[in-house]
Amino acid sequence: MDFIHPTPFQYKIINCLRVILAGIARFIFSLFSCCRKKKIPPIHYDILKQPAIEVARKIRNKEITSVEVLEACIKRIIDVNSTLNCLIENRFAAALKEAKEADSFIRSGIKSEEQLLKEKPFFGVPFTTKDSISVKGLHNTAGLYSARHNIADNDAKVIKLLRDKGAIIIGITNVSELCLWWESYNKIYGRTKNPYDTTKIVGGSSGGEGALQAAAGSCFGIGSDIGGSIRIPALFNGIFGHKPSKKIVSNDGQFPEVKSEQEETCLVIGPMTRHAVDLKPILSIISGENSYKLKLDQPVDMRKINVYYQKNINAPLTDPVDQEIGSVLQKVIRFFETKYQVKAVKTNIKLLKASAPIWFASTVSEPRLRTYVTENGDCSERAIIQEIMKSICGHSDKTLITLMIALTDDVDLKSDTYKENRLLGEKLEDIFKEMLGDNGVFIFPTHPTAALYHNEPLFRPYNFLYTAIFNSLGFPATAVPLGLNRSGLPVGVQVIANHNNDRLCLTVAEELEKEFGGWVEPQRKK
């Protein structure tokens, strides 16, 4: 079934109805949320507030032990996980053994601090990853109930690369079912809640990782992103998240397995951190043999960066940007203009209106999504509709949103509409490539709103396009937190650059963190 293009009048009618329903839903959700909000304890361990590279330095320098850091992570996870439901499986015992071995090795003096920094820069530092990136011996389900018994035989390549550099994996975090939706909920592990307001969502699909990082449960995290799955959780949870350039970081070890060239281009693995300074060294490691392409050590002169920005995507069925997010975007532009005397250029890239058909055409994969959500090999629309009815009645082990998405997963790769949408994507990519060049960045909202109430994305389904379109184009993009709004929820923007110019995004993120403060510790008990 190809992406359908209603007439402008039909779009207006559909969007009007959607806005009305979304408003009603938000009012109802707000009524029911008042008595359900819970708070998490404050962070009692200062080491968990520090950048991962600083934690690594202190471990190498014997100012703190790997065991002490790991025990702080474990205690913090125990403190918050019953409220947030972000970590779904741990390897605490094995990690403690590895931490003790790391401390013993440091005490031995076999390697100097300088040698460890060069060879194993994250020696003894605990980290986590999402349940779709395989960790040997742990479940690897992507939240799919029928895969609930899957155990990973090997580490994904990114996990192996990090472990080779001394990092210690301590567990996996919750995701949306099959990593398809931007609220992290599934029928195996349930729903993850936002550490700033537990009545709000954490985003998806790397939502469990976003929540755990915001709550300081591990020193850094690894997520994946095919339509905003790193950047949306990074925004909603007030942390940094980087979607690398296409085909830089290996997708080996992801479930479901990546099998198409198009999906390989759109889907990327990247770092999620509380501090911007951790992004470059982590990306340098996980990009492996492709690291040289990014020139991460090449200095960036902020005064020579060309800055472009746009407030809204203007795509059908998407919400306009909230005033508070629009305000922080303007603060970023003023920062460039006042501190670095860079004249930012406001754009109006009209082809962004076609983000939906471009993204859907660029993420077609084999096997089809519907093969994962139907039984007995029956992938017909009838079978999916039957499963949808079962879900509505509470008798399905699949989430309703996954089934609804599967119903549209039948694109004809030979159709004229599909080919036209692919060409539109190429045209939009060329527009950005020409604009950005070798030294340009595009400042754009990560999402039009801060974190929504649970289930509210069902009434605003296309808002993910603010991030998704850049997966289709293959550009690097970094989500940058810029403080809290009046409701105490994180707000921010994303920074986009040309292919393999990730260092521009990351340098800008570091500068914005210095100016605006970056990650803010979540709510405290009064």
Report pTM.
0.96
E strand or H helix at 441? strand 440-445
Residue 1 has pLDDT above 60, yes or no: no
Token pair for 13: 């009618």
**Is residue 472 situated within a structural domain?**
yes
265 is a domain residue: yes
> Does residue 382 sit within a domain?
no
Closest CA to 431 of 343, 311, 348, 323: 348
Which residues span the domain enclosing 476? 8-368+410-516
**Which residues participate in catalysis according to the annotation?**
130, 205, 229
Residues forming a β-bridge with 309: 346, 443
CATH number at residue 48: 3.90.1300.10
- Per-residue pLDDT reduced to its tens digit, 288-312: 999 999 999 999 999 999 999 999 9
Which tokens go with 113? 């601090």
Count of CB atoms situated within 10 Å of the CB of 107: 10
* Of the candidates 18, 141, 86, 132, the residue with the CA atom closest to the CA atom of residue 457: 18
Neighbours of 362 (CB within 10 A): 24
pLDDT, one tens digit per residue, over 137-183 is 999 999 999 999 999 999 999 999 999 999 999 999 999 999 999 99
What are 75-132's pLDDT values in tens digits? 999 999 999 999 999 999 999 999 999 999 999 999 999 999 999 999 999 999 999 9
Question: Can you state the angle between helices 416-436 and 355-362, rounded to 10 degrees?
Answer: 110
Whether 142 is in a domain gets the answer yes
Q: For residue 524, what pLDDT is reported?
A: 59
Whether residue 396 lies inside any domain: the answer is no
User: Which residues partner with 254 through β-bridges?
Assistant: 133
* Most distant CA pair in the chain, distance: 73
Label residues 297-307 b or e (16+ Cβ within 10 Å = b).
eeebebeebbb
Only one residue has tokens 């509709």, namely: 385
Would you state the pLDDT for residue 2?
A: 46
What digits encode the pLDDT tens for the residues 191-209?
Answer: 999 999 999 999 999 999 9
Residue 483 lies in a domain: yes
Lowest-pLDDT choice from 282-291, 360-369, 429-438, 492-501: 360-369
pLDDT attached to residue 414: 80
In a domain, 25, yes or no: yes
Q: Report the alpha-carbon distance of residue 198 to residue 513 in Å, rounded.
A: 25
Give the distance, in angstroms, between the CA of residue 361 and the centroid of all CA atoms in the same chain. Answer: 21
Residue 383 confidence (pLDDT) above 90: no
Distances (CA, A) of 164 to 50, 116, 122, 158: 23, 12, 9, 10
Residue 440 lies in a domain: yes
Which of these, 242, 251, 234, lies nearest to 288 by C-alpha position? 251
Closest by Cα among 250, 283, 327 to 516: 327
Number of independent structural domains in the chain:
1
Asked whether the beta carbons of 353 and 431 are under 8 A apart, the reply is no
